[in-house]
Structure 1
């Protein structure tokens, strides 16, 4: 998708300046310049106006091809995310559906549009959150099934199956989840070790390091997510709940998750927080509220995936991911949602006068300044 290049070419054909085009569209000259260099994309709502100005069809403006590159998929996903902050959910949904129709023959893109839908359905029109969930998760599930049927790679088919199972879980269909995935975790074969060994054999040790670092980073994130889910099953086993929380806290400290992946860490903290609040362990609740407030205060939103001093070779791996360094959920809004979850949860009402709770309240108030 070469929108910027098309705009540049057609502007020169029309012999108009960037400022003239900017004035017509009601944007800045700098915006037009960024489009033409590929730094950013035009807002979705401007695309019909741009097409009309240059007397182009939408397909011509997009230089339409049935299949998109990873970079193009990332840009469309991010463009839709950004539009959530400026347009109504109905308009974003309409844009998403137009993209799906346009690129229905591109399974990797359809997979990401399904992912976008399950991560942002609460923005879309509907009478209630439950109604939205039922409607849009079923629609996303249909997209994942299409990917399973049309994809040609095992990796993509497995991803589509896993996302379909996730939507089934959210739709409270556990039997269907088990039908798709089975009842036991599959045996894992560490292919990254083979890849790294192959690079070492080729005397390309640096590429082997990238491979193993990216695998280790994923292990840490997956381990924290697993512990997050495990905590939710342990409210009737205080000893195991405490042990699991302490081990997760140590893991987060060892790998400095507050800086490396704060969203991953805060999800773990909230799972522990509500578990201990449910069994009325006041001292632990206050400890977790303090930790959560500290992580929230130091995190810069929106959040993107990145390495750190230890995982200092993972950038090439991050950039080749389906969404690159972009988080699947709009993290600017995720900050608000996490704060609201803490400040409105009835289990935490007894702690509203505590210092850690009030600190979190202050963070929320600073959002609106």
Structure 2
């Protein structure tokens, strides 16, 4: 609470002395002085009288704003993301929980704190990954439940519902997922087309183009993730697996995902390489791993969301996202996970004796070392 500076400001603006304020409230001048210097706080029962005296709402008297602007959410998320690799996990977790309590009515913020927990739970206190999952994923889930039940924004509620379902998948509760989402792909009437049509009718051609671009930009990542996950369901059908991978690579090439969204692209390649490894197709494994290593080497860290020559109007849309252009997970952890998914993945152990593995391992060394060589 910042009641002290507010009291000083309001009192001086009205030419009121500390003694006059003390007399009205029924306390000593020393008490008012301590409130203003932050040594103590007024009793909660005095807040209505103080607010009325200065013709303020209690929230204004406390200088409390329950809502955060998008840029403030960006900043808090980025700060927590950075802190997780520089401060003890207990300290970062305490800060997050304190912020959640303070902004418990700011639903976009609660959604992002749930996302933060999902992306960084492995860096928080706990003896092992299973115990951390059981400790922090339900905590994230409760944030999503609160947003789903209380947020006035229908799109935010839908996102929260989907993230709630995602936590259920992580916690191995498939029946709960289907109860929440149903068993069929929902019909989809994209609002993007309606927004763009309205903008075009108003003569706002650039804005309409930007709307379609941002929709396409999101769709590229969504479709790539569909391919990534679908590949893992086709391991017992090598022919369909290969055809799906061929189509996925063609899609990625059309939108230049290697440069537009390298993390999504690497996820796709990692899924394909792991599938070919399980199908015991070494030539395919190393062909995909070579492309993966090249994409890793070409990626500049920290990774940020960005457009390109084709998606040249999406900057304002990216800036207004809840966490802006930053990626959800800490950069150092992202880079490490890109390496671990190849170098420390048991599915590739059988290929370590292949002479081609040495080239892959060398190309996947930490970027700092490669930059000095």
TM-score band, normalised by shorter chain: 0.7 to 0.9
| Deviation, structure 1 residue 135 | 1.1
Partner of 2:301: 301
Q: RMSD of the TM alignment (CA)?
A: 2.4
After superposition, the C-alpha distances for 1:62-110 in whole angstroms (9 at most, x for unaligned) are 9541111111111100110011121011111111111111111211111
Runs of 4+ in structure 1 off by over 6 angstroms are 56-60
- Structure 2: distance between partners of 1:57 and 1:232: 60
- Structure 1: distance between partners of 2:301 and 2:40: 37
Partner of 2:114: 114
Does the Cα contact within 8 Å between 1:303 and 1:332 map onto a contact in 2?
no
- In structure 1, stretches of 5+ residues that fail to align are 7-53
- In structure 2, stretches of 5+ residues that fail to align are 6-36, 42-58
| Deviation, structure 1 residue 355 | 3.3
Partner of 1:186: 186
Q: Secondary structure at the match of 1:251?
A: helix
Does the Cα contact within 8 Å between 2:289 and 2:360 map onto a contact in 1?
no
Partner of 2:364: 363
- Structure 2: distance between partners of 1:250 and 1:57: 65
Partner of 2:348: 348
The change in CA–CA distance for 1:366 and 1:226 in structure 2 (over 3 A counts) is closer
Structure 1 residues 350-359 or 321-330, which shifts more? 350-359
After superposition, the C-alpha distances for 1:110-139 in whole angstroms (9 at most, x for unaligned) are 111111001110000111101101110011
Partner of 1:290: 290
Q: Secondary structure at the match of 2:365?
A: helix
Does the Cα contact within 8 Å between 1:199 and 1:207 map onto a contact in 2?
yes
TM-score for both structures, normalised by structure 2: 0.81
Partner of 1:251: 251
- Structure 1: distance between partners of 2:323 and 2:195: 23
| Deviation, structure 1 residue 360 | 3.6
After superposition, the C-alpha distances for 1:154-207 in whole angstroms (9 at most, x for unaligned) are 111111111110000000000000011110111111321222122111111111
Partner of 2:203: 203
- Structure 1: distance between partners of 2:162 and 2:201: 34
- If you compute each CA radius of gyration, which structure gives the higher value, 1 or 2? 2
- Structure 2: distance between partners of 1:355 and 1:293: 12
Partner of 1:38: none
- Structure 2: distance between partners of 1:316 and 1:327: 17
- Structure 2: distance between partners of 1:335 and 1:307: 21
Partner of 2:105: 105
The change in CA–CA distance for 1:183 and 1:57 in structure 2 (over 3 A counts) is farther
Q: Secondary structure at the match of 2:309?
A: coil
TM-score for both structures, normalised by structure 1: 0.81
- Structure 2: distance between partners of 1:213 and 1:347: 38
Are residues 1:147 and 2:118 paired?
A: no
Structure with larger RCO (C-alpha < 8 A, sep 6+) = 2
- Structure 2: distance between partners of 1:184 and 1:95: 40
